[in-house]
Amino acid sequence: MMDESSVEASPSAVDSPPVSDGDGRVYLVPYRWWKEAQDPQPGSGLRGVPYAACHTPTSYGMKIINNLFGSDLVFNLRRDGDLREDEDDGSRGRCYALIGADLWVQALNRQTDSDLTVKKNGSFLFTEDSTTDVYPLILRISVIRETNILIVKISKKDNAVENYKRASKIFGIDSEPVHIWDFSGRTNLILMEEWNRVPLDCNPKSDQEVLLEVQVSALLENMICKSEAKKDNLQLDQSKLTGSCYGNPLMCNGSLGYSDSDLQNGSFKGGGLFGLRGLDNLGNTCFMNSSLQCLAHTPKLVEYFHGNFRKEINAQNPLGMKGELAMAFGDLLRNLCTIDRLPVVPHVFKGKLARFAPQFSGFNQHDSQELLAFLLDGLHEDLNRVKHKPYVEAKDASGRPDDEVADEYWGNHLARNDSIIVDICQGQYKSTLVCPVCSKVSITFDPFMYLSLPLPSTTMRTMAVTVFSTDGSIEPSTYTINVPKSGKLKDLIRALGVASSLRDDESLLIAEVYANCIIRFLDEPSDSISLIRDEDRLAAYRLPKDAEKSPLVVFVHQRLEEHYILSKRTNWKGFGVPLVTTLPDVVDGSTICKMFLKLLSPFRKSKDAGFDGEEDRCTSISFEANFNMEAESECPQEVEYASNTEGEFQFHLTDEKSKVMQSKIEMDEATPLPTTSKHLFVLVCWQTKVLEQYDTNLLNTLPEIYKFRLFPKRSQDSCTLYACLEAFLKEEPLGPEDMWYCPSCKKHQQATKKLDLWRLPEVLVIHLKRFSYTRYTKNKLETLVEFPIRDLDLTNYIAGTPKQISNNYQLYAVSNHYGNMGGGHYTAFVYHGGENRWYDFDDRNVVPIAEEGIKTSAAYVLFYRRT
């Protein structure tokens, strides 16, 4: 920076206007239009610096050569001391004004109050041909110190072809003189910087050129096309064009010069809509674009970042990004919240995001809610007003009133966290933990940035389990039940007992069956249901309650199968579901046979014969050698079948996995009880002729836990947002991976947790948990959530006495996800108050959408504001 003496010494500093608070963008408008938009009060106008345009000297390059081979339009701007602002009426040639962003907005506000503006339903209507009245133009300006001349170069490389042609027409200085009045102070600033930087004996070099981005009004083009004979009509046309504020960026680092009411409902005071700009997709960045559009239409956030937010940047915060993320977001937000309709290319913001969050680098698809969570947290840390966070120790409630404890927790939170994000986006909920062992209760009050609500279908799990009797009294039946997804085995047993009408003197033993064998008993009630997979098959056995811990006998079935390889051969193969019953104290072959035949009673096709006549059907069959039998093998070890066998069933002891055929069971001999297991496993070999006497389909019917063919998915599942909220607030046990350390037990326990809303924010962000992840699968729920648009009333969900005036909310934005986990697409629905309608933001495309069209199964993140 220069001191005052250096400024006064510089000829360019005399009578110069103050430098605009803008970010470097200035606006080139007709001088006459600018004068008419000024405050009519005497002495209220700004003084500008006059320049006259002329050809570049031959030392810079011949014009014809530049036109043929060059890519720049080059001319000089020389200070014109003879031109007086109060006398210029445009008769000396074309005359333009160079103004800053704040002056541009002020001029628009004055012009839109004219009689040509039509006001209707709180918004302004304009002609179709006025929807794009500015376009960007890049000027590269350098300075020659001796003559105090600005050398202006407009490059084809930096501008689109159409913009370059427009610039050539506007600055074509052959026909008549061109004068520019600088009211922005930008040219004077360039002169002063170059004056002090360039040595006396040096000429300016190319790397000393200053890049200036100018927004050129289409009024200039219109003015050039009009002849001097049509000046009166030109003035009317100019007024019409200024009646629409579409396409005019509102870019500045500080205040734009308009009040909060000017931003209300997405329109300027006096007319003009802003915030309808799309975002270019840089390569799978639709997830980012969706979240950014929702935030860019959050009124309190827009108001904050259009003010002097940089003064609150906390560059020293070790948890922040040195303010770079906040500045990049602020620049992007101000770019989006303009009345230009051209899409914004978020290269700078994407680069900052990838730098501080490498997980979002590259061109892979990501989650819009994960980006939103990172961005809100990062903005909070970058804008945290607390420079030195004090150490705060959380105190236990210890029986104190909830109001007192909640205020204490909130005060401690604000002592370390104070930002615009906390002001508008953070709320507080009450968390209650209860130890299942000692009943210790712990109550805390924690802040939240958003609510992640489960869909009701994600909190319950549909399971199919087949129940077998252990006394041969009833046929097996399959029951479909719903259990808590994060529940325990005891919840499954309880629900299955109700469904199967279990008697008070009965209990259920659940086993997992695989390859016609029981591979494990689920006998620990505290085990998590999540250990059971959807493709597993479960069988439940009704046992007498007093025999829950008694030893059992497990019958596993095998039958002969014939196949031909050179000659007729047979082999044993497993089939059916194992049958289970209690084991008496004394066991012999005859007892085992009787127990098995009793269990088969429900499966017998002809039930005339009673159990008493079955004893003679039990015989023992001996084999010459023991052999292994693999249940999953298509060709297990072959044995010769004795066609003259008298018995219908053959019984052999086997191991727990039922793969090894051990000793035979003799009918008149005692059977030794196992020493390595409390259960006796018996392999039953069915003879071919006996299979026809039993309905083996009942034995083979064992569905998977969840099968779409058994439970067809409805075309459109639906639930209400309130149901999602109730599922979120429902008491539930913690998972095995989230156990709580009980200070009373001095160990981690699977406590039950209950959440209650305590303090709601100004802006309530609700995330619908559509995606579920397991070790093996990723799923998305297409449930249609019926969410309120204008009246989300959360009064009944607030614990204690509500402290805010209202708990009613209105929807203003929705982040949508279409498709599946692998190839989805994100968009955003945003409510625009200026037009009182919804818009669909699909990357660079922005189109209106009917209100009834915003409720879809794609709704992923909902944005509400308090009313």
Q: How many Å apart are CA 822 and CA 845, to the nearest integer? A: 23
Task: Give the up-direction half-sphere exposure of residue 843: CA atoms within 13 A in the CB hemisphere.
Answer: 10
Q: How far is CA 778 from the centre of its chain?
A: 16
- Where b means 16+ CB within 10 Å and e means fewer, 369-396 reads bebbbbbbebbbbbbbeeeeeeeeeeee
Annotated active-site residue 425? The verdict is no
Do the beta carbons of residue 378 and residue 356 sit within 8 Å? yes
Do the beta carbons of residue 331 and residue 398 sit within 8 Å? no
Instruction: Please provide the DSSP assignment of 374-442 as one string.
Output: HHHHHHHHHT-S-SSPPP------TT--HHHHHHHHHHHHHHH--SHHHHHH-EEEEEEEE-TTT--EE
Instruction: Please provide the DSSP assignment of 312-361 as one string.
Output: G--TT-TTS-TTHHHHHHHHHHHHHSSS--SPB--HHHHHHHHHH-GGG-
Q: How many Å apart are CA 34 and CA 41, to the nearest integer? A: 15
Secondary structure letter of residue 32 according to DSSP: H
Distance set, CA 236 to CA 41, 233, 312, 826 (Å): 23, 5, 45, 44
> What residues form DSSP beta bridges with 811?
864
Instruction: Please provide the DSSP assignment of 157-186 as one string.
Output: TTS-HHHHHHHHHHT--SSS-EEEEE-SSH
Instruction: Please provide the DSSP assignment of 102-113 as one string.
Output: HHHHHHHHHHTT
Distance set, CA 388 to CA 137, 392, 411, 416, 419 (Å): 45, 12, 16, 8, 14
Question: Which pairing describes strands 680-686 and 552-565: parallel, antiparallel, or unpaired?
Answer: parallel
- Where b means 16+ CB within 10 Å and e means fewer, 543-562 reads beeebeeebbbbbbbbbeee
Do the beta carbons of residue 143 and residue 195 sit within 8 Å? yes
Cα four-point dihedral sign 55, 57, 59, 64 = positive
Helix (H) or strand (E) holding 78: strand 72-79
Distance set, CA 618 to CA 353, 592, 646 (Å): 77, 9, 9
Annotated active-site residue 54? The verdict is no
Do the beta carbons of residue 54 and residue 78 sit within 8 Å? yes
* Three-state secondary structure readout of 665-689: CCCCCECCCCCCCCCEEEEEEECHH
Do the beta carbons of residue 284 and residue 363 sit within 8 Å? yes
Amino acid at 139: L
Catalytically annotated residue among 413, 679, 745, 825: 825
Catalytically annotated residue among 245, 286, 435, 618: 286
Do the beta carbons of residue 252 and residue 20 sit within 8 Å? yes
Secondary structure letter of residue 528 according to DSSP: B
Task: Please identify every residue annotated as catalytic.
Answer: 286, 825
